[in-house]
Structure 1
């Protein structure tokens, strides 16, 4: 299966952006864009993490793309998940983020989850900058799936 160069560049940049600090004030929205975190955070049987929420956005600029990034903070540790390209047509849609058990180190209990709706500005195939256009942060309770 061939992966388009633009998608590979977005995936590589998403990994780098997950460790960088691109923030906006809590509850920030731009041009009627928004994001929310749901309370149904789960830990899978293999120790993976599943988060979800909703988002709505308008189309990114022609030189850019939109993505959701989710971050879990618990017991001094931090896990960033995301990078999946999303559909921006003004409709409220559901987002789901999954981190496999090999990478997640989250236990059952309370954690702070932050979801960011990000616009990636490209220069050719390479990312030039990332703007957080909407943000939601809340304490959620992680439960183990049976």
Structure 2
């Protein structure tokens, strides 16, 4: 094949693979643009500063999360510790919807009675995706937030 034909074929092939360039027009900043800008934060999780502690040992923790499309199921897991940081109690887990918008999460679970008391505690929330890889899904950390909270009776 002559060099000129090879160069032309390469250029045509490259043009077919590249997406068309967007039109260079100035668009006003509107709600759609703001939503699109908010979606640039692809993964985050927060913890509310107050958790609830019931008399039977049930702990309720909450916060927000945001994530974009995922290849596997995504969950918000949480744990709490008080006093000894090496002793943590897992507090439930909730399914996450990854659509780029901010959502609330609430996890609730029962700890041993008298394991936790009203007052200062440390909560960790984790946004975790189970990515399919062969036969077993593998956990992938998307976001994590540690937060000092106050556990209140009720």
Trace 1:1-146 onto structure 2 (pairs within 5 A): 32-61=42-71, 64-76=72-84, 77-102=87-112, 105-123=115-133, 126-127=136-137, 129-145=138-154
Structure 1 residues without counterparts, runs of 5 or longer: 1-29
Q: TM-score, normalised by structure 2?
A: 0.65
CA contact (8 A) 2:94 2:105 kept: no
Give structure 1 regions of 4+ aligned residues with deviation exceeding 3 angstroms.
Answer: 101-104, 123-126
Max Rg structure: 2
| Count of residues in Structure 1 that have an aligned counterpart in Structure 2 | 113
Q: Give the Cα–Cα distance (whole angstroms) in 1 for the partners of residues 102 and 144 of structure 2.
A: 15
Q: Give the TM-score normalised by structure 1.
A: 0.69
Larger relative contact order (CA 8 Å, sep ≥ 6): 1
> Using the alignment, how far apart are the partners of 1:84 and 1:124 within structure 2?
25
Question: What RMSD in Å do the two structures reach over aligned CA positions?
Answer: 2.2
Between structures 1 and 2, the one with greater helix share: 2
